[in-house]
Amino acid sequence: MAAASELATAPVCVLVLGMAGSGKTTFVQRLAAHLHGQRCPPYVINLDPAVHDLPFPANIDIRDTVKYKEVMKQYGLGPNGGIVTSLNLFATRFDQVMKFIEKRQNASKYVIIDTPGQIEVFTWSASGTIITEALASSFPSVVVYVMDTSRSTNPITFMSNMLYACSILYKTKLPFIVVMNKTDIIDHSFAVEWMQDFETFQDALNQETSYVSNLTRSMSLVLDEFYSSLKVVGVSAVLGTGLDDFFVQLSKAVDEYEREYRPEYERLRKTLEKAQNKQKREQLEHLWKDMGSVCVQGNTLAGSDDASAMGPSELILTRGTLDEEEERQSDTDDIDHEVTEESHEEPAFRNFMQETRMKYQRSIKPSE
């Protein structure tokens, strides 16, 4: 029952991607305004370090952490390299972002993440993968691909958009929604018809007489399976139309995540934990062997009965443990406390060290 309650309060992470000029940021603004109007304020995160002015209030803004122009100047990078490096630097601190989201999970039902305008910076970079997998492993996550409908009236341009959407779907491995934006300029029904009726799309391609049109015709056959399970909704970010249909599709995408994607992420998490535990055990075994050889040498040189009664694991535990008074005085867990030789050495170990020093001094006297 506790797990079910946690599941119910977990916020939905909406990763908004899109080509430059597709109206992605405007869509995020409209989405946030719509949720505020429904008395359901979202938690908004901006991951675009190069944006000048945000048209919406962001709870977390990458520009507060990383200075884009300073990164370009310090590393001698161009605009795209500066964005990639800024995002990589921010990804190293994304565990703190996860903690902020967890604290707000009871207050915000949705977490909206706006990504850089250069879509490849996020989809194909290591930082984008880290951020996507971190969110998807902890919260229901959905990828929203914003598409410029007015620029996709050409069948070849439309196919290019669909191929890019397909590549992002298989790269992120998350529920996917295509938002056909700018329906206030042109209705998106023609694009939906092209996806549902192969013959209609072929008729549109017949007007194109080029090598690219032949390639597009072949690609349209390949994408039939992709179209069959694709969630598509037409939206006008300027007018705010189509948002009700968007949230219907978003609800279906969340159900798909819980049904198909969450078990896979849970399996991957358990596999990673097993691998980490195995590595820790192997390191501990190597340490035991090393400490065991030290104890054997100590028994030979020092001839101490106390040392022979102490195994390697006992030696580690006794020498590396702080007493209760020191534990009460320690306020943080990540401070490396300096352990002095005098305060934590056992008598057997100290006798062994003194005997070793004496033997060494006697061995070097003749040469002096």
* pLDDT class of 42 with cuts at 50, 70, 90: very high
* Contact in structure between 62 and 49 (CB atoms under 8 Å): yes
* pLDDT class of 146 with cuts at 50, 70, 90: very high
Please state the φ and ψ torsions of residue 17, each to the nearest 5 degrees.
Answer: -120, 160
How high does pLDDT run on average in the chain?
78
Rounded CA-CA distance 323/339 in Å is 12
Rounded CA-CA distance 200/198 in Å is 6
**Residue 43 pLDDT exceeds 90:** yes
DSSP state of 258: I
Q: Which helix (H) or strand (E) holds 119?
A: helix 119-123
* Contact in structure between 112 and 45 (CB atoms under 8 Å): yes
Q: What is the pLDDT of residues 105-125, one digit of tens each?
A: 888 999 999 999 888 888 888
The SS3 call for residue 350 is helix
Which residues lie across from 45 on neighbouring strands?
60, 113
Q: What is the pLDDT of residues 242-269, one digit of tens each?
A: 999 999 999 999 999 998 888 877 777 7
Q: What is the pLDDT of residues 186-238, one digit of tens each?
A: 999 999 999 888 888 888 888 776 667 777 877 777 787 788 888 999 999 99
**Residue 138 pLDDT exceeds 60:** yes
pLDDT recorded at residue 126? 87
Q: Is the dihedral of CA 242, 108, 65, 168 positive or negative?
A: negative
Report the pLDDT averaged over residues 299-306.
49
More confident residue, 109 or 339: 109
pLDDT recorded at residue 324? 43
Report the pLDDT averaged over residues 163-185.
91
- The residues, any chain, with a CB within 8 Å of residue 56's CB and separated by 6 or more, are 25, 28, 29, 32, 33, 44
Using CB atoms within 10 A of its CB, is residue 100 exposed (0-12), middle (13-18) or buried (19+)? middle
The SS3 call for residue 242 is coil
Q: Note the Cα 33 to chain centre separation in Å.
A: 26
* Contact in structure between 162 and 223 (CB atoms under 8 Å): yes
**Class in CATH terms, 17-47+107-267:** alpha beta
pLDDT recorded at residue 352? 56
**Residue 17 pLDDT exceeds 90:** yes
More confident residue, 52 or 143: 143
pLDDT recorded at residue 274? 78
* Contact in structure between 15 and 140 (CB atoms under 8 Å): no
- The residues, any chain, with a CB within 8 Å of residue 295's CB and separated by 6 or more, are 307, 310, 311, 312, 315
**Residue 334 pLDDT exceeds 60:** no
DSSP string, 195-231: HH-HHHHHHHHTT--SHHHHHHHHHHHHTHHHHHT-E
Q: Which helix (H) or strand (E) holds 144?
A: strand 141-148
More confident residue, 234 or 361: 234
Q: What percent of the chain has pLDDT over 70?
A: 75
Please tell me the least confidently modeled range out of 134-148, 306-320, 343-357: 306-320
